[in-house]
Structure formats: structure tokens, C-alpha cells
Amino acid sequence: MTATDTIFALASGAGRAAVAVLRLSGPRSADILATLAGRLPQPRMASLRRLRAPGSGEQLDQALVLWFPGPASYTGEDCGELHLHGGPAVVTAVGTALAALGARPAEPGEFTRRAFLNARMDLTAAEGVADLIDAETDAQRRQALRQADGALAALYGGWADRLTKLLAHQEAAIEFAEDDLPTDLGNRAREGAARLGAEIAVHLADGGRGERLRDGLMVAILGAPNAGKSSLLNALAGREAAIVSARAGTTRDVVEVRLILAGVPVTLADTAGLREAADEIEEEGIRRARRKAKEADLVLTVFAADVPPDEGTLAWVRPGAMVLANKADLAPAPAMIGGVVPLAISARSGEGLDTLRASLAEAAARLAGVGDAALLTRPRHRAALTEAAAWLTEAAAAPLPELTSEALRAALRALGRLTGRVGVEEVLDVVFRDFCIGK
């Protein structure tokens, strides 16, 4: 893969369609488009042309052709688009002609990678494009659009500019100590490092909201056998996702369903009942239930209103857990369970389920930070910012100006890896490997 190649890819969905879009980018784009379409159209104006195969002159299709000369294009290179009739035979024939004229099929993410390499976007914006393609919900779409439009780049770029200025002042204090410069430049640099480190620490202390919105939340349903966990799962899912039986221990493994709450993807997991296991299979199911509860973003602890609360489930009544008294159609809910006022529900009759859904949606929006601007969205961001904050702390406390300077320089390198300003070769493959073909 080299940036000197001319690449092409299907940018629309695969299969039979009314219209298929083939994208082209690279130094030979103009020659290839002119050969196929007879001549280049006016830049950024769609022109209806007959596409002909090189050599034979056979008509391949009648298509709209668009020409985007660089650098004012998505990739920063000369680009073109062919809006074809969407039959597979047409797409295949035109793709074969493009290859015959010297273009090659693009690799996943190669168009966006070229846009980054040509300074059309930074790494965080490129990741926003990938998230936008994968967005399932409006909340994910909004977060991805903010990132693709440069919200994170503006924040991190501003920090990098401030850090560059701090480093310049510290370097000046070292290199020109004998000149007529302010005597407190070193103190200013250390104080500025402390302030910037504190801002980054606040940004990091976000509870993982942006990552939760991007990846989705996990909600575990936990409780004793026959507390009605599977019935609750089915009621919330609106379908028979889990087997329901009066026989205790029916659920042996984790059963999951996917929901959308407040624009947040949520995986709801029904788990095996907590009790002394009757056999090794049930024991494994209970072990998985406890592990799922530990990994979950939210735990629904379910008790049956018609029996006393069991000790196994009471152990999971913790801050942040949602306590439910199910089977409220059979008996009144206890006033308190484990020091918490439970929500009375009935998975069978539907009592309290609307209130539960509203509470779950509110919790999902809070945990995922729906509506918050400029949230970090990937472990890569968190790792680089954590490193930068650590170096800034070291810079603020360094006993020698040379050590302050070195720590500031290391912090700047860490921030540079976020946006792609410095030291990014090792992260490029990670950033672009999950893109779809044609983007």
C-alpha cells in the first residue's frame, strides 16, 4: 500500500440497488476518468456520460461522473466518483475497467487514511468518521458527528498549543538565562503545567461515558431462582427471549438481548439464579452470573415480593444497583430491602414496568453522558491523556529546569499521538483497520 497508487472502491452498499457509487482517489484519477468518460467534467458538477471500456470501446454504463481536483477533496488528492446503475454486473464491469487503467482496489479505511496523511483531518476526526459509519442510535450519531467535526481535535489541539508555549518559555529560561528575560519564566511554566494537568485530570474523570455510549452498556439482572428474572427480561425485550418455567434453576447460562434506551445501546443479561448449586452445570452458571454482575455498568437486583429477601441477592444491593420487588401482583412489596426502597413491579401484569423503563433510560443517559460535548471515546485517548497528565505532574514538581523541560516535551509527545501531530506511525494501523472498504 502506497500513497502514490490510485485507488478505487464501492462506496455504497453491496448487492443489487438503484444506484452504486464507485470512488476513485490518487494521481491518475484525472486520466482514468477522462478515458472512461471521454473527458473530465467541470469540477464538482455532475455530468451524465457514457462509460466505455478501454481498448474495445464497449459501453459499460450511462452514469453520473463527478470530478474533485485536489487538494480540495475528501482525501486531499485528485478524486472522482462514478454514480452507476446498481446492478452487480455493471459494478463489476466498471471495476474491471478501472483496474485495467491502473487503479487498484482500496484497502479498508484507505480513503480516510489518505485524508489524514494529507492533513484533511486529524486522527480523532478520522475515528469519528468510523464511529459515524457504525452508529446504531441517534445519540451515537451525535457523538460521532461532534468528533468527526473536530470537537476533540479542538480541545486537544488547544492543550497542545498551550503546552508548546510552556515548553518554549521553559527552554528560553534555560538557554537565555544571561539575557534580559523575565526571571519567573520557569515558575510560570511549572504553574502552567500544574493547571493543564488538572484540566486533563477532570477530562479523564468522566466515568467512561463516551466509551460507554460508543460501545453500549451492559445491564445484568441478578436474583434468586424464581424471582422472575427471565420474565422480566422478556417483558423489557417485548419478546420471548428467555425460557420461563416455575422450576427453579431453568436459566443455566447468560441470556442476552439488545435494547435501545435513551439513544444508548444496552445489552440486558438474564443470569442464573443465586443459590447453592445442585450440580456442576448450575455452579458454572452461577459463577457466570456473578462475573456478569461485576462487569456490568448497572445491576438490577430482583427479589420476589411474596418471599423473604434471600441473602445471596442482598449481597448485591450496593450503591448504584437498582432494587426491584417483582411479583407485586401476588404480594405487597417490602418497604425496604437491604436499606433501599424497592421499585414494585410485576413482569406478569406489567405493573411498574413503565416506571422501570423510564428509570433505566435515565440511568443509561447518565452513564453514557448523552448530550455531553467532547467526551473521549477510545482507550487510545485515555492512555495518551493519562500519560500526558503524569508527565505534567512531574514537570510541575521537577527540581531542575532541565527536568521540567524534558517532562513538558514528553507530555507534548503524548498529546501529539492523540491528534497525529507526532509519533503516530505505530497507531495508524490500529486506527484505520476497522474501517469499511470505500471509506
User: Residue 28 annotated as binding?
Assistant: no
User: Residue 326 annotated as binding?
Assistant: yes
H helices of 85-238, in order, are: 88-100, 110-117, 123-134, 138-148, 151-175, 185-204, 209-215, 229-237
Of the candidates 301, 344, 295, 308, the residue with the CA atom closest to the CA atom of residue 323:
301
User: Residue 231 annotated as binding?
Assistant: yes
Burial level of 217, CB count in 10 A (0-12/13-18/19+)?
Answer: buried
Instruction: Give pLDDT tens digits for 173-222.
Output: 777 655 555 667 778 889 999 999 999 999 999 888 998 899 889 999 98
**CB-side neighbour CA atoms (13 Å) of 339:** 6
DSSP string, 313-374: HHTT--TT-EEEEE-TTTSPPPS-BTTBPPEE--TTT-TTHHHHHHHHHHHHHHHHTTT-SS
Q: According to the model, what pLDDT value does residue 231 have?
A: 87
User: Residue 245 annotated as binding?
Assistant: yes
211: Cα separation from own chain's centroid: 6
User: Residue 292 annotated as binding?
Assistant: no
Of the candidates 222, 240, 223, the residue with the CA atom closest to the CA atom of residue 231:
240
Instruction: Give pLDDT tens digits for 215-241.
Output: 889 999 988 888 888 888 888 888 775
User: Residue 228 annotated as binding?
Assistant: yes
Q: How far apart are CA 194 and CA 397, in angstroms?
A: 9
Q: According to the model, what pLDDT value does residue 245 have?
A: 43
User: Residue 272 annotated as binding?
Assistant: yes
User: Residue 165 annotated as binding?
Assistant: no
Contact between 343 and 356 under an 8 Å Cβ cutoff? The reply is yes
* pLDDT over threshold 50, residue 269: yes
CA distances from 331 to 18, 25, 221, 247 (A): 59, 69, 21, 20
Domain with CATH 3.40.50.300 in the chain: 215-368
Q: According to the model, what pLDDT value does residue 246 have?
A: 47
User: Residue 81 annotated as binding?
Assistant: yes
Contact between 50 and 59 under an 8 Å Cβ cutoff? The reply is yes
User: Residue 250 annotated as binding?
Assistant: yes
User: Residue 271 annotated as binding?
Assistant: yes
Highest mean pLDDT among 77-91, 155-169, 209-223, 399-413: 77-91
User: Residue 47 annotated as binding?
Assistant: no
Q: How far apart are CA 71 and CA 242, in angstroms?
A: 55
Q: How far apart are CA 427 and CA 437, in angstroms?
A: 19
Q: How far apart are CA 87 and CA 105, in angstroms?
A: 19
User: Residue 270 annotated as binding?
Assistant: yes
User: Average model confidence (pLDDT) for the chain?
Assistant: 86
Q: Which fold has domain 123-206+376-432?
A: Four Helix Bundle (Hemerythrin (Met), subunit A) (1.20.120)
User: Residue 327 annotated as binding?
Assistant: yes
User: Residue 118 annotated as binding?
Assistant: no
Between 438 and 378, the more confident residue is: 378
251: Cα separation from own chain's centroid: 32
User: Residue 227 annotated as binding?
Assistant: yes
User: Residue 328 annotated as binding?
Assistant: yes
Domain with CATH 1.20.120.430 in the chain: 123-206+376-432
User: For 7-106, which CATH class?
Assistant: alpha beta
User: For 215-368, which CATH class?
Assistant: alpha beta
Contacts of residues 134-139 at CB distance under 8 Å and 24 or more positions apart, as own/partner, are: 136/260, 136/265, 137/260, 137/263, 137/264, 137/265, 138/263, 139/213, 139/262, 139/263, 139/264, 139/365, 139/368, 139/370
Domain with CATH 3.30.1360.120 in the chain: 7-106
Share of the chain above pLDDT 70, in %: 87
